[in-house]
A = this chain, B = another copy of it.
Protein backbone atom coordinates (compact mmCIF):
# COMPACT_ATOMS: atom_id res chain seq x y z
CA UNK A 1 0.00 0.00 0.00
CA UNK A 2 2.99 2.32 0.58
CA UNK A 3 3.52 4.57 -2.41
CA UNK A 4 6.71 3.70 -4.30
CA UNK A 5 6.75 6.87 -6.39
CA UNK A 6 5.63 10.34 -5.33
CA UNK A 7 4.65 13.17 -7.66
CA UNK A 8 5.77 16.35 -5.98
CA UNK A 9 3.92 19.57 -6.77
CA UNK A 10 6.06 22.64 -6.24
CA UNK A 11 3.98 25.32 -4.51
CA UNK A 12 6.59 27.97 -3.67
CA UNK A 13 5.28 30.35 -6.31
CA UNK A 14 1.74 30.35 -4.91
CA UNK A 15 1.48 29.11 -1.34
CA UNK A 16 5.08 30.10 -0.79
CA UNK A 17 4.84 33.67 -1.95
CA UNK A 18 1.27 34.60 -1.07
CA UNK A 19 2.07 35.58 2.50
CA UNK A 20 5.20 37.53 1.54
CA UNK A 21 5.72 41.08 0.41
CA UNK A 22 5.09 41.14 -3.35
CA UNK A 23 8.14 40.42 -5.48
CA UNK A 24 8.38 41.44 -9.15
CA UNK A 25 7.05 39.12 -11.83
CA UNK A 26 10.57 38.91 -13.26
CA UNK A 27 11.81 37.59 -9.92
CA UNK A 28 9.12 34.93 -10.00
CA UNK A 29 10.26 33.93 -13.47
CA UNK A 30 13.82 33.63 -12.16
CA UNK A 31 12.59 31.38 -9.37
CA UNK A 32 10.49 29.36 -11.80
CA UNK A 33 13.53 28.81 -14.00
CA UNK A 34 15.39 27.39 -11.01
CA UNK A 35 12.38 25.27 -10.11
CA UNK A 36 12.06 23.99 -13.68
CA UNK A 37 15.71 22.93 -13.54
CA UNK A 38 14.88 20.54 -10.70
CA UNK A 39 12.87 18.39 -13.09
CA UNK A 40 9.64 18.78 -11.14
CA UNK A 41 6.63 17.95 -13.31
CA UNK A 42 3.86 19.88 -11.53
CA UNK A 43 3.94 23.48 -10.38
CA UNK A 44 1.26 25.52 -8.66
CA UNK A 45 1.98 28.80 -10.41
CA UNK A 46 -0.27 31.39 -8.84
CA UNK A 47 -3.80 32.11 -7.63
CA UNK A 48 -6.62 34.03 -9.25
CA UNK A 49 -8.05 35.58 -6.13
CA UNK A 50 -8.64 39.09 -4.85
CA UNK A 51 -5.56 41.21 -5.62
CA UNK A 52 -6.35 43.36 -2.60
CA UNK A 53 -6.43 40.37 -0.26
CA UNK A 54 -3.36 38.69 -1.76
CA UNK A 55 -1.28 41.46 -3.32
CA UNK A 56 1.69 39.14 -3.75
CA UNK A 57 -0.24 37.28 -6.45
CA UNK A 58 -1.87 40.31 -8.08
CA UNK A 59 0.30 39.72 -11.14
CA UNK A 60 -1.33 36.35 -11.84
CA UNK A 61 -2.31 37.10 -15.48
CA UNK A 62 1.12 38.51 -16.27
CA UNK A 63 2.91 35.61 -14.65
CA UNK A 64 0.60 33.13 -16.38
CA UNK A 65 1.72 34.57 -19.70
CA UNK A 66 5.26 33.39 -18.94
CA UNK A 67 4.33 29.76 -18.35
CA UNK A 68 4.25 28.68 -22.00
CA UNK A 69 8.04 28.85 -21.96
CA UNK A 70 8.06 25.77 -19.70
CA UNK A 71 6.28 23.12 -21.79
CA UNK A 72 7.49 20.20 -19.65
CA UNK A 73 5.66 21.38 -16.56
CA UNK A 74 1.96 20.91 -15.80
CA UNK A 75 0.92 24.20 -14.22
CA UNK A 76 -2.07 24.83 -12.02
CA UNK A 77 -3.56 27.89 -10.35
CA UNK A 78 -5.63 28.19 -7.22
CA UNK A 79 -9.07 29.79 -7.36
CA UNK A 80 -11.68 30.51 -4.72
CA UNK A 81 -14.73 31.31 -6.86
CA UNK A 82 -16.31 30.75 -10.28
CA UNK A 83 -15.05 34.14 -11.33
CA UNK A 84 -11.52 33.20 -10.32
CA UNK A 85 -11.84 29.98 -12.28
CA UNK A 86 -12.84 31.92 -15.43
CA UNK A 87 -9.95 34.33 -14.97
CA UNK A 88 -7.48 31.45 -14.61
CA UNK A 89 -8.77 29.75 -17.74
CA UNK A 90 -8.78 33.03 -19.66
CA UNK A 91 -5.14 33.47 -18.66
CA UNK A 92 -4.29 30.18 -20.29
CA UNK A 93 -4.22 27.75 -17.37
CA UNK A 94 -5.67 24.33 -18.08
CA UNK A 95 -5.65 23.06 -14.52
CA UNK A 96 -7.29 24.81 -11.61
CA UNK A 97 -7.44 24.09 -7.91
CA UNK A 98 -10.57 25.06 -6.09
CA UNK A 99 -9.96 25.36 -2.37
CA UNK A 100 -12.76 24.73 0.10
CA UNK A 101 -12.25 25.03 3.83
CA UNK A 102 -13.79 22.24 5.85
CA UNK A 103 -14.07 24.55 8.84
CA UNK A 104 -16.61 27.37 8.77
CA UNK A 105 -14.57 29.99 10.58
CA UNK A 106 -11.53 29.57 8.32
CA UNK A 107 -13.81 29.47 5.28
CA UNK A 108 -15.39 32.75 6.28
CA UNK A 109 -12.02 34.35 6.98
CA UNK A 110 -10.64 33.05 3.70
CA UNK A 111 -13.52 33.58 1.25
CA UNK A 112 -16.29 35.26 3.18
CA UNK A 113 -18.72 32.34 3.28
CA UNK A 114 -19.09 29.14 5.26
CA UNK A 115 -17.95 25.69 4.21
CA UNK A 116 -21.34 24.58 2.91
CA UNK A 117 -21.63 27.65 0.68
CA UNK A 118 -18.11 27.14 -0.65
CA UNK A 119 -18.86 23.47 -1.23
CA UNK A 120 -22.03 24.37 -3.14
CA UNK A 121 -19.92 26.14 -5.76
CA UNK A 122 -17.97 22.99 -6.68
CA UNK A 123 -20.34 21.87 -9.48
CA UNK A 124 -20.29 25.29 -11.17
CA UNK A 125 -16.51 25.52 -10.99
CA UNK A 126 -16.07 21.96 -12.23
CA UNK A 127 -18.35 22.76 -15.15
CA UNK A 128 -16.45 25.93 -15.98
CA UNK A 129 -13.19 23.98 -16.03
CA UNK A 130 -14.49 21.05 -18.00
CA UNK A 131 -16.24 23.28 -20.54
CA UNK A 132 -12.79 24.73 -21.23
CA UNK A 133 -11.19 21.28 -21.45
CA UNK A 134 -9.38 22.03 -18.22
CA UNK A 135 -9.13 19.89 -15.11
CA UNK A 136 -10.13 20.80 -11.58
CA UNK A 137 -8.72 19.67 -8.26
CA UNK A 138 -10.67 20.22 -5.08
CA UNK A 139 -8.35 21.08 -2.19
CA UNK A 140 -9.88 20.68 1.23
CA UNK A 141 -8.30 23.24 3.54
CA UNK A 142 -8.25 22.97 7.35
CA UNK A 143 -8.85 19.26 6.84
CA UNK A 144 -7.48 18.46 10.29
CA UNK A 145 -7.68 21.67 12.32
CA UNK A 146 -8.95 25.20 12.02
CA UNK A 147 -7.14 28.06 13.75
CA UNK A 148 -10.51 29.34 14.97
CA UNK A 149 -12.81 26.29 15.25
CA UNK A 150 -10.26 23.77 16.52
CA UNK A 151 -10.21 20.14 15.34
CA UNK A 152 -12.19 19.53 12.15
CA UNK A 153 -14.64 16.59 12.30
CA UNK A 154 -13.87 14.10 9.52
CA UNK A 155 -17.49 14.31 8.42
CA UNK A 156 -16.91 17.89 7.31
CA UNK A 157 -14.08 16.71 5.09
CA UNK A 158 -16.11 13.83 3.72
CA UNK A 159 -19.00 16.10 2.75
CA UNK A 160 -16.64 18.05 0.53
CA UNK A 161 -15.12 14.85 -0.86
CA UNK A 162 -18.59 13.62 -1.78
CA UNK A 163 -19.46 16.91 -3.48
CA UNK A 164 -16.19 16.85 -5.40
CA UNK A 165 -16.69 13.28 -6.58
CA UNK A 166 -20.29 13.96 -7.61
CA UNK A 167 -19.23 17.06 -9.52
CA UNK A 168 -16.66 15.14 -11.53
CA UNK A 169 -13.57 16.68 -9.95
CA UNK A 170 -10.37 15.33 -11.45
CA UNK A 171 -8.28 15.25 -8.28
CA UNK A 172 -8.73 15.73 -4.56
CA UNK A 173 -6.26 16.95 -1.95
CA UNK A 174 -6.43 17.38 1.81
CA UNK A 175 -4.49 20.22 3.36
CA UNK A 176 -3.12 20.77 6.86
CA UNK A 177 -3.45 24.52 6.44
CA UNK A 178 -1.98 25.49 9.81
CA UNK A 179 0.62 22.78 10.30
CA UNK A 180 -0.88 21.11 13.34
CA UNK A 181 -1.57 17.57 12.26
CA UNK A 182 0.59 14.59 13.06
CA UNK A 183 1.14 11.19 11.46
CA UNK A 184 -1.41 9.38 13.59
CA UNK A 185 -4.18 11.76 12.57
CA UNK A 186 -3.01 11.73 8.96
CA UNK A 187 -3.47 7.98 8.88
CA UNK A 188 -6.86 8.24 10.58
CA UNK A 189 -8.25 10.82 8.16
CA UNK A 190 -6.87 9.11 5.08
CA UNK A 191 -8.52 5.90 6.23
CA UNK A 192 -11.81 7.78 6.04
CA UNK A 193 -11.15 9.72 2.84
CA UNK A 194 -9.69 7.01 0.65
CA UNK A 195 -12.79 4.80 0.41
CA UNK A 196 -14.84 7.87 -0.56
CA UNK A 197 -12.87 9.06 -3.57
CA UNK A 198 -13.23 6.12 -5.92
CA UNK A 199 -10.23 6.04 -8.20
CA UNK A 200 -9.43 9.75 -8.09
CA UNK A 201 -5.85 10.86 -7.48
CA UNK A 202 -5.44 11.97 -3.87
CA UNK A 203 -2.83 14.45 -2.69
CA UNK A 204 -1.74 15.84 0.65
CA UNK A 205 -0.50 19.30 1.58
CA UNK A 206 1.42 19.74 4.82
CA UNK A 207 3.01 22.63 6.64
CA UNK A 208 5.92 22.20 9.01
CA UNK A 209 4.80 24.74 11.59
CA UNK A 210 5.21 22.32 14.48
CA UNK A 211 8.03 20.28 13.00
CA UNK A 212 5.75 17.38 12.10
CA UNK A 213 5.34 18.03 8.35
CA UNK A 214 7.75 15.41 7.10
CA UNK A 215 6.47 12.83 9.57
CA UNK A 216 2.94 13.51 8.36
CA UNK A 217 4.08 13.25 4.74
CA UNK A 218 5.69 9.92 5.49
CA UNK A 219 2.48 8.66 7.11
CA UNK A 220 0.58 9.74 4.00
CA UNK A 221 3.01 7.85 1.77
CA UNK A 222 2.64 4.76 3.98
CA UNK A 223 -1.11 5.12 3.44
CA UNK A 224 -0.59 5.08 -0.32
CA UNK A 225 -0.71 8.79 -1.09
CA UNK A 226 1.54 9.50 -4.06
CA UNK A 227 0.96 13.22 -4.55
CA UNK A 228 2.54 15.72 -2.14
CA UNK A 229 2.86 19.50 -2.17
CA UNK A 230 6.10 21.14 -1.06
CA UNK A 231 7.91 24.44 -1.58
CA UNK A 232 11.59 25.08 -2.15
CA UNK A 233 13.11 26.51 1.00
CA UNK A 234 9.98 25.73 2.96
CA UNK A 235 8.43 29.11 2.19
CA UNK A 236 4.72 29.47 2.59
CA UNK A 237 1.79 30.04 4.84
CA UNK A 238 -1.79 31.17 4.80
CA UNK A 239 -2.34 34.87 5.56
CA UNK A 240 -5.80 34.07 6.92
CA UNK A 241 -4.68 31.32 9.28
CA UNK A 242 -2.86 32.73 12.31
CA UNK A 243 0.10 30.59 13.31
CA UNK A 244 0.56 29.01 9.90
CA UNK A 245 4.08 29.07 8.55
CA UNK A 246 6.22 27.13 6.18
CA UNK A 247 5.23 24.48 3.70
CA UNK A 248 7.33 21.37 4.01
CA UNK A 249 10.52 22.11 2.11
CA UNK A 250 10.87 20.46 -1.28
CA UNK A 251 14.50 19.57 -0.66
CA UNK A 252 13.82 18.09 2.78
CA UNK A 253 10.94 16.03 1.39
CA UNK A 254 12.99 14.82 -1.57
CA UNK A 255 15.85 13.88 0.75
CA UNK A 256 13.55 11.92 3.05
CA UNK A 257 11.65 10.15 0.32
CA UNK A 258 14.58 9.17 -1.83
CA UNK A 259 16.70 8.07 1.13
CA UNK A 260 13.72 5.98 2.23
CA UNK A 261 13.61 4.27 -1.14
CA UNK A 262 10.65 6.17 -2.58
CA UNK A 263 11.16 7.65 -6.02
CA UNK A 264 10.48 11.32 -6.69
CA UNK A 265 11.34 13.17 -9.89
CA UNK A 266 13.14 16.16 -8.41
CA UNK A 267 16.89 16.71 -8.43
CA UNK A 268 18.01 17.32 -4.86
CA UNK A 269 20.99 19.57 -5.50
CA UNK A 270 18.97 21.70 -7.90
CA UNK A 271 16.15 21.93 -5.39
CA UNK A 272 18.64 23.26 -2.83
CA UNK A 273 19.87 25.73 -5.46
CA UNK A 274 16.30 26.87 -6.11
CA UNK A 275 15.74 27.25 -2.37
CA UNK A 276 18.80 29.46 -2.20
CA UNK A 277 17.33 31.67 -4.91
CA UNK A 278 13.99 31.80 -3.10
CA UNK A 279 15.82 32.84 0.05
CA UNK A 280 17.59 35.63 -1.77
CA UNK A 281 14.42 36.88 -3.46
CA UNK A 282 12.40 36.81 -0.25
CA UNK A 283 15.24 38.27 1.75
CA UNK A 284 15.12 36.27 4.94
CA UNK A 285 16.36 32.92 6.22
CA UNK A 286 14.03 30.16 5.10
CA UNK A 287 13.19 27.21 7.38
CA UNK A 288 14.49 24.42 5.12
CA UNK A 289 16.84 22.01 6.93
CA UNK A 290 18.79 20.96 3.84
CA UNK A 291 19.42 24.57 2.91
CA UNK A 292 21.37 24.80 6.17
CA UNK A 293 22.81 21.32 6.55
CA UNK A 294 23.26 20.27 2.93
CA UNK A 295 22.85 16.83 1.51
CA UNK A 296 24.50 13.96 3.35
CA UNK A 297 28.17 14.77 3.58
CA UNK A 298 29.69 11.95 1.65
CA UNK A 299 27.50 11.62 -1.38
Contacts and interface: CB of A to CB of B under 8 A. Distances in A.
A242 interface: yes
Contacts of A294: 243
Contacts of A288: 211
A261 B184 contact: yes
Contacts of A148: 298
A147 interface: yes
Given A262-B184, A294-B243, A209 B256 contact: no
Task: Give the size range of A's interface with the partner.
Answer: 35 or more
B297 A260 contact: no
A299 interface: yes
B259 A182 contact: yes
Nearest to A291: B211
Given A184-B262, A262-B184, A298-B150, A215 B256 contact: yes
A242 B184 contact: no
Contact of A181 (B185, B259, B299): B259
Quickly give the copy total for this chain. 2
B259 A209 contact: no
A68 to B, nearest CB: 35
Contacts of A255: 182, 210-212
Contacts of A212: 214, 252, 255-256, 259, 289
A185 B259 contact: yes
A245 interface: yes
A63 B123 CA distance: 68
B210 A260 contact: no
B179 A297 contact: no
Given A183-B260, A184-B259, A259-B185, A293 B218 contact: no
Interface in A246-268: 249, 252, 255-257, 259-262
A296 interface: yes
A217 to B, nearest CB: 8
A150 B62 CA distance: 47
Interface in A222-250: 222, 242-243, 245, 249
A290 interface: yes
Contacts of A296: 145, 180, 210
Contacts of A107: none
A144 to B, nearest CB: 10
Given A179-B293, A296-B180, A297-B243, A252 B185 contact: no
Which 4 residue pairs spanning A and B have beta carbons closest together?
Answer: A184-B260, A211-B289, A182-B259, A150-B298
Interface of A: 145, 147-150, 178-185, 208-212, 214-215, 217-219, 222, 242-243, 245, 249, 252, 255-257, 259-262, 288-290, 293-294, 296-299
